[in-house]
Amino acid sequence: MSNQPNYVFVLDTNRKPLTPCKSSLARKLLNAGKAKVFMLYPFTIILNKEVADGPKPLTLKID
């Protein structure tokens, strides 16, 4: 097993992609009612409030 965390895709209210978050943070947002499930595969949540921040740059590495 790898020690890398699983990430959850995040969308804002306008379905604009945001920076993915760890599953623990996604679980907290869902339990607090601040987000809801958008898709099951790939697991994606959608926030209930609009966010002003944009996504951070990501690096994709392929072996």
- Residues 24/7, Cβ–Cβ less than 8 Å: no
pTM above 0.75, yes or no: yes
pLDDT band at 33; cut points 50, 70, 90: very high
* Domain extent listing, the chain: 7-47
What's the chain's average pLDDT? 88
Q: Which long-range contacts (CB under 8 A, 24 or more apart) does 37-42 make?
A: 38/11, 42/9
Structure confidence by residue, pLDDT tens digits, 10-28: 999 999 899 899 999 999 9
- How far is it, in rounded angstroms, from Cα 36 to Cα 50? 14
